Amino acid sequence: MKSLFTLFFVYLSLAYSVSVRAELVIPIVEGVDNPTVIGVSPFGYSGAQALPENIASIVSADLKRSGQFKTIASSDMLSFPNQQQDVVYRDWRLLGSEYLVIGNMVATPTGYSANYSLYDVVSQRIILNNFKVNVGRDGLRQMAHHISDKVYEAITGIRGVFSTQIVYVKQTPQRQYQLILADMDGAREQVLLRSKEPLLSPSWSPDGKYIAYVSFETSRAAIFMQELATGKRRQLTNFQGLNSAPSWSPDGKTLALVLSKDGNPEIYTLNIASGRFTRITNHFGIDTEPKWSNDGKAVMFTSNRGGKPQIYQITLSNKRVERLTFDGDYNAKPQPTPDGKGIVMVHRFDGVFHIAVQDIATGNIRVLTRTALDESPSIAPNGAILLYATKENKRGILAGVSLDAGIKYKLPAKSGDVREPAWSPFLTKR
Amino acid sequence: MLSKTIKLGFSLLVASVILAGCASTGTPAGGTESTDNNTGNSGAESSGTNNGGATGTGGQSGGESSVDLGTVFYFDFDQSTLTAATRALLTAHAADLKTYPRNIRLEGHADERGTREYNIALGERRANAVRDYLRSEGVTTPIEVISFGEEKPVNSGGFEAAWSLNRRVELR
């Protein structure tokens, strides 16, 4: 397969202020038992000035953080090939490396271009042959994440999420609330909104262009949507009582949300174009945390209508309500897995709040986390991993866990209290 | 009379805390416009509450004889039912509010356990329970209800001693 793949990243460079140059150290708590060993040889570059980012080390860090790979330190490498003719398979076999990535960079008038290849060291064959990627001047990290995505998918068969982003809420030591956008590895943080009053429940539009969230800036809760590219905001609700938990429908046209204007927290839908609200639940209990099914035909939500918080689902066409969880006395904040086979949720087990996944067919619940006070799970668009909020030394941090519970890591936060992660959809075309 | 004076002092304290927290929302990065449209109807009562615990300790009924000063009402985990002590306290507040009518605001809160949005709903439910009790006692002046869920703890200690202080409704 001799393919030449060219990808032009959308030049968002104006919106991005690259503040973190140094490599972030992401502690991996737990990885798979037999990680795949891969070497990423330092990329060739003959430019006049040194590159501001080390592509090979970012790719290495991405793959390592996935928990599925063990990477070879450049100090252990026997050779640094960056052309096909320089690859000596034996050098990599000796190190136990099953795969090898090589690449070459050149400066272009507008930024950088890279060619990269992936080799299977064991069977001595080329898997990705001289793929190409171009980026703008500020795009080196995106370039590295893009290469990681391609390598990860070629080896695991699962689409990589290294190019995706996350949004979360930070409370600074000065008690300011900030809505933050960052790469999925926590790098390149940028503040989308600052407020003295609480911010919560960020939700991505399926096209990755807008964030809906709850802000208390008007002295009470209100739902806003904000365009990422321009920062332009629109207030969507201003009702008496709760204005909570916005969740974008899969087609991007409707938000499910919670209002208590009629006395009780109920789930509504809001048609964004027309501004029309439709009430979809009707119960005196608490109904909150709506999340759309993948086909957009039903909405899952948390309700205490049975006495304790449990997860229910309402089919929009006939308003039929079905209870989905029965195991345990606290199940909340549902999110369907991308394959539709499971529900990720907050589950109390032995009095401790964990993230769990319930198999829809069998009803079996599997607890994924070992931390405590876990909340706000948000699944990556490839369905392989999720981020959630937890506490460490009384400080809010973000942590990741794979949906098979085999991989666990923490996202470092330099300061402040972080919570409410929301993982973006895939942001680039394949 | 003494209790009134203390209450006035307490109101001033709350007011100053509110003023401190009332500065407008900063302009977000990236050219985002700040829509700091403080709704005018409730003036100084709107916006910032403290995170510092000044009101939390004010309402603690730890052997304090002047129970009628308590403006913070506590709840059990995942519950919004009023305790007998709270009902007695609210009966006194109701009498006071009927004698000296004023607009009040009830702020509902939850402890950090469980999910944030569920806790926002729970905080509202608690504040509604207080409001309904005041109404049943004949209070007819406007009562505003707002819930902050687990966003504004008075004590971030992380154990039941702290959690029990955070599961509360504050009367302002």
Instruction: Report the CATH number at residue A67.
Output: 3.40.50.10070
Inter-chain residue contact B114 with A200, CB threshold 8 Å: no
Higher-confidence residue of A49 and B97: namely B97
CA distance B149 to A287: 15
pLDDT of residue A385: 95
Domain contains A48: yes
Inter-chain residue contact A286 with B118, CB threshold 8 Å: yes
Domain end (from A156, A182, A210): A156
pLDDT of residue A25: 63
Give contacts of A 219-258 with B, CB under 8 A: 219-221, 226, 230-233, 235, 241-242, 244-245, 258
In the block, residue with structure tokens 């699962």: A158
CA distance A380 to A371: 20
Residue A377, exposed/middle/buried by CB under 10 A (0-12, 13-18, 19+)?
A: buried
Domain contains A13: no
Q: Which residues of B touch A179 (CB under 8 A)?
A: 28
A365 in Cβ contact with A352 (< 8 Å): no
Percent of chain B residues past pLDDT 90, beyond the cut: 56
Query: Is there a single domain that holds both residue A278 and residue A395?
Result: yes
Across chain B, mean pLDDT equals: 71
Query: Is there a single domain that holds both residue A351 and residue A202?
Result: yes
What mean pLDDT comes out for the span B47-68? 33
pLDDT of residue A272: 97
In the block, residue with structure tokens 């590895």: A185
Query: Is there a single domain that holds both residue A141 and residue A39?
Result: yes
Tokens of B91: 């009966």
The verdict on A426 touching B (C-beta cutoff 8 Å) is no
CATH architecture assigned to B50-171: 2-Layer Sandwich (3.30)
CA distance A422 to A168: 6
Query: Is there a single domain that holds both residue A152 and residue A180?
Result: no
Structural domain including A58 reads 28-156
The verdict on A201 touching B (C-beta cutoff 8 Å) is yes
Query: Is there a single domain that holds both residue A201 and residue A94?
Result: no
Query: Is there a single domain that holds both residue A139 and residue A196?
Result: no
Domain contains A342: yes
Model confidence at B105, in pLDDT bands (50, 70, 90)? very high
The verdict on B118 touching A (C-beta cutoff 8 Å) is yes
Inter-chain residue contact B21 with A309, CB threshold 8 Å: no
What mean pLDDT comes out for the span B109-128? 97
**Biggest CA-to-CA distance, chain A:** 73
Domain contains A429: no
The verdict on A170 touching B (C-beta cutoff 8 Å) is no
Residue A199, exposed/middle/buried by CB under 10 A (0-12, 13-18, 19+)?
A: buried
Query: Is there a single domain that holds both residue A360 and residue A396?
Result: yes
pLDDT of residue A429: 78
The verdict on B38 touching A (C-beta cutoff 8 Å) is yes
Domain boundaries, chain B: 50-171
The verdict on B117 touching A (C-beta cutoff 8 Å) is yes
Model confidence at B69, in pLDDT bands (50, 70, 90)? low
Interface test with B, best of A258, A286, A347 (most B CBs within 10 A): A286
Inter-chain contacts counted by CB atoms under 8 A, chains A and B: 138
Inter-chain residue contact A196 with B23, CB threshold 8 Å: yes
Domain contains A9: no
Tokens of A14: 């104006």
Return averaged pLDDT per consecutive 10 residues of chain A, 430 residues in all.
36 34 61 91 90 95 92 96 96 97 95 97 96 95 97 97 97 95 93 97 98 96 97 96 98 98 96 97 97 98 97 97 96 97 96 96 95 95 96 92 91 85 91
Q: Which residues of A touch B116 (CB under 8 A)?
A: 200-201, 375-376, 419-420
Q: Which residues of A touch B21 (CB under 8 A)?
A: 196
pLDDT of residue B157: 84
The answer on pLDDT for B39 being more than 70 is no
Domain contains A347: yes
The answer on pLDDT for B13 being more than 90 is no
The verdict on A288 touching B (C-beta cutoff 8 Å) is yes
pLDDT of residue B49: 28
Query: Is there a single domain that holds both residue A96 and residue A141?
Result: yes
The answer on pLDDT for B63 being more than 70 is no
Query: Is there a single domain that holds both residue A111 and residue A194?
Result: no
CA distance A288 to A154: 40
- Number of folded domains in chain A? 2
Domain end (from A108, A124, A156): A156
Inter-chain residue contact B28 with A241, CB threshold 8 Å: no
Inter-chain residue contact B47 with A197, CB threshold 8 Å: yes
Query: Is there a single domain that holds both residue A171 and residue A149?
Result: no
The verdict on B21 touching A (C-beta cutoff 8 Å) is yes
Considering CB atoms only, which of A196, A242, A353 is closest to B147? A242
CA distance A259 to A313: 18
pLDDT of residue B27: 35
Give contacts of A 305-344 with B, CB under 8 A: 308-309, 330, 332-333
pLDDT of residue B45: 26
The verdict on A286 touching B (C-beta cutoff 8 Å) is yes
Give B15-35 pLDDT, tens digit per residue: 333 333 333 333 333 333 333
Query: Is there a single domain that holds both residue A295 and residue A396?
Result: yes
Q: The domain spanning residue A296 has which CATH number?
A: 2.120.10.30
Residue A389, exposed/middle/buried by CB under 10 A (0-12, 13-18, 19+)?
A: buried
Domain end (from A132, A156, A180): A156
A395-402 and A375-379 strand pairing? unpaired
pLDDT of residue A22: 40
Query: Is there a single domain that holds both residue A131 and residue A274?
Result: no
Domain contains A170: yes
Q: Which residues of B touch A197 (CB under 8 A)?
A: 25, 47-48
What is the distance in angstroms between the Cα of A232 and the nearest Cα belonging to chain B? 5
